[in-house]
Structure 1
Amino acid sequence: MKTYKFVATCLFGLEKLLGEEIDALGYKRTETIDGRVTFEGPVDAIARCNINLRVAERVYIHVGSFPAPTFDALFEGTKALLWDEWILEDDEFPVTGHSVKSKLTSIPDCQKIVKKAVVDSLSSVYGIERFSEEGSRIRIEFFILNDIATLMIDTSGTPLFKRGYRTESNAAPLRETLAAALVKLSRPRENVVTWDPFCGSGTIPIEAAMQMTNTAPGINRSFAAEDFYTLPMDIWTKAREEARDNIVKSEFVAYASDIDPKCIEIANANIKRAGMEPNVKCFMRDALKIEKGDLRGTIVCNPPYGERLMDKQSCERLYRQMGEHFKTLEPWQIYIITSHPYFEKFYGKKADKIRKLYNGMIKCNYYQYFKKK
């Protein structure tokens, strides 16, 4: 079976989790750098990774890498790659890209050169000079880092954080891929409630329930590569059948609560669309009035940062109140993500562990308070 090279991208700080997910699917990692993991696998990895990876933003076909300190090197290196393996003569192939710490800094110029090189490569194979570009849309992306160019084809299309269940959200939504990572890092268990008392649109509890029922995040959406006629179509059917077969029944329950009735309305709709109603209970409650009762629980939450919801002073007052009230939940574990640089000061307690993450472009810390032994 022929092996190909692929690249999965992720938010900064999630590379280790992404690598573990790729390992679990049975593929061999070859390189990890900031925001991306390169790996090898058969062609069906395109379907299986798009459908199953929880923290990946996109999955790419790695077409080739080469030194590109000059425009001539970029052109010749791109032209030498086997583009006809993926692109048919009537396919549309737009080019986008990035350059970091490299001599070639003009993105528009790089785009034009890559496009011309791909056209020349395909012209030599198909014997035509003009391409109608009316067929499947195959987006080429270049990434130039330290004068090394990597040429890739996007197989995902719409970013993978868009699972399809969140058609509505509140003013400051948490990306689904980051929510999935927060849940993974909290190590959910079937007999322990995962509770988000600032649930917003319900993303964290939904992602927790999907993980505990082994529901693939991409099982109900489509991907760009499903329209690639150079790929065998049965890889998608088989990957979806495998994903459906892997779903398990679970007694796990996540709680989604919020003080805002509009958030509860939105969260309930998203929970229903995700098919997670049996495993997520959604209700209105002030985060400062939640009680543990007889429950064993873990708090995983994304309280206001003062970036888009509330001002800094109000957030700091809230953090103080959280620190006081969450003491009553001991021995529960507490996991809180925020961009506020002095969160611990206002919360009144040093975290057992802090992990640096990004919520989109916002640099955050994930404060982890473990159960005392």
Structure 2
Amino acid sequence: MDYRLIATCAFGIEKILSNELKELGYEDLKVENGKVEFDGDEMDIAICNIHLRTAERVLIKLGEFKALSFEELFQGTKAINFGELIPISGKMHVVGKSVKSQLHSVPDCQSIVKKAVVESMKKTYDREIFAETGAVYKIEIALLKDIATITVDTSGAGLHRRGYREHSGAAPLKETLAAALVLISGYDGSRPLIDPFCGSGTILIEAAMIARNIAPNADREFVSESWPSFPKDIYPQVRDGARNQVKSLNTSITGYDNDTYVLSTAKMNAKKAGVFNNIFFKHSDFMDLKYTEKNVTIITNPPYGERLGELETIRMLMEKMGRDKAVHEDFDMYVLSAVEGFEKAFGRKSHKNRKLYNGRILTYLYQYFAEKKKED
């Protein structure tokens, strides 16, 4: 069956997500804030859930219409043939959000949409009551500037939940954002990679998975697999195909941190992700760290210093990072930071910077290229 699909993502990485979709062979992409729309069938749903590194969810778009009143919301939703997707036993779980819209009470919108979905189901199945004891269909009503979009989630748990990170340090970087940083850097495994503030290892693990062409979500399950109408052979087929595409890696990936407990967590995560043999984890204080490698890519998310009294220490770290870059002109550095005045502390303006959200924290990815890449 053909659907209009939406892959959602964090703000600022829509272009990265659309590039991923293009590499998977999708065309006619519609890129908007926090999402990319495209056409696909059940096979495409499985491919995107298993292969996309920067997407948060894959949704089926069922309808879009203007809704200035609850009556318009009810009628617009009721006009959608939900029975085409949801079986008679399906559990219809409605969630919602509203931004810059007249209908701003999300609980009321959810309640009205649920009633409208049931009315639509009544027409399809010619019955009044639904037990809702079967597979879950999470329906979302999203209102933006009075336009209502009705979707059904195919992913279940967010796609950043790869399954390898049971434990993480304080303020962990989402796997999807870590993958985006690696993809922005263009890292492909052909040169050494270092994260001097590796924490629980997320950047390094995502980088190793990218370099080895390991599909990020081949080892987890998705809610659409439990749908009675979803062909049972599709997900296993896509998983098998993904596992057959895995490559080896010959260059070094190294992570440093000054917290031994966090490093042990990183090692456990790397084992679960299947890339433990590709990453060296080393205990070191950043201020004592000296690089011996050449032509290195550094991708890192150093501490932001949210607590009082930490900022001076953070600035010392930034200054050292700038000195390291001055000594190692052949290094590419990609630093995600929320620290105001980062470039001043670093000692030079970045060649590029990119606004990204780490959860709800506004950050910038400061990009310092090797001398040879300046003219690219």
Aligned length: 372
Does the Cα contact within 8 Å between 2:157 and 2:222 map onto a contact in 1?
A: yes
Q: In structure 2, what is the equivalent of residue 136 of structure 1?
A: 135
Q: In structure 1, what is the equivalent of residue 220 of structure 2?
A: 221
CA distance in 2, matches of 1:245, 1:287: 39
SS in 1 for 2:74: helix
Q: Please tell me the residue identity of whatever aligns with 2:6.
A: V
CA distance in 1, matches of 2:161, 2:58: 14
SS in 1 for 2:184: helix
CA distance in 1, matches of 2:30, 2:308: 38
Q: In structure 1, what is the equivalent of residue 18 of structure 2?
A: 19
| Larger CA deviation: 185-194 vs 162-171 | 185-194
Whether 1:53 aligns to 2:57 is no
Q: In structure 2, what is the equivalent of residue 152 of structure 1?
A: 151
Sequence identity of aligned pairs in percent?
44
TM-score (normalised: structure 2): 0.95
Shift of 1:182: 0.5
Whether 1:44 aligns to 2:40 is no
Q: Please tell me the residue identity of whatever aligns with 1:262.
A: Y
Whether 1:201 aligns to 2:200 is yes
Whether 1:340 aligns to 2:366 is no
Q: In structure 2, what is the equivalent of residue 269 of structure 1?
A: 268
Shift of 1:309: 10
Segments of structure 2 that go 5 or more residues without pairing to the other structure are: none
CA distance in 2, matches of 1:152, 1:191: 40
Q: In structure 2, what is the equivalent of residue 190 of structure 1?
A: 189
Q: Deviations over 1:187-207 (max 9, x none)?
A: 114331110010000000100
Cα distance change of structure 1 residues 132 and 163 upon mapping to structure 2, 3 Å threshold = same
Whether 1:258 aligns to 2:257 is yes
Segments of structure 1 that go 5 or more residues without pairing to the other structure are: none
Whether 1:63 aligns to 2:62 is yes
Q: Please tell me the residue identity of whatever aligns with 1:62.
A: K
Shift of 1:310: 7.3
Q: In structure 1, what is the equivalent of residue 162 of structure 2?
A: 163
Q: In structure 1, what is the equivalent of residue 9 of structure 2?
A: 10
Does the Cα contact within 8 Å between 1:85 and 1:230 map onto a contact in 2?
A: no
Q: In structure 2, what is the equivalent of residue 329 of structure 1?
A: 328
Does the Cα contact within 8 Å between 1:333 and 1:371 map onto a contact in 2?
A: yes
Equivalent residue runs for 1:286-305 within 5 Å: 286-305=285-304
CA RMSD of aligned residues (A): 1.5
Shift of 1:253: 2.6
SS in 1 for 2:240: helix
SS in 1 for 2:75: helix
Shift of 1:103: 1.3
Q: Deviations over 1:76-110 (max 9, x none)?
A: 11111121122111111111111112111110110
CA distance in 2, matches of 1:191, 1:125: 56
Does the Cα contact within 8 Å between 2:298 and 2:334 map onto a contact in 1?
A: yes
Cα distance change of structure 1 residues 310 and 338 upon mapping to structure 2, 3 Å threshold = farther
Cα distance change of structure 1 residues 283 and 347 upon mapping to structure 2, 3 Å threshold = same
Does the Cα contact within 8 Å between 1:23 and 1:29 map onto a contact in 2?
A: no
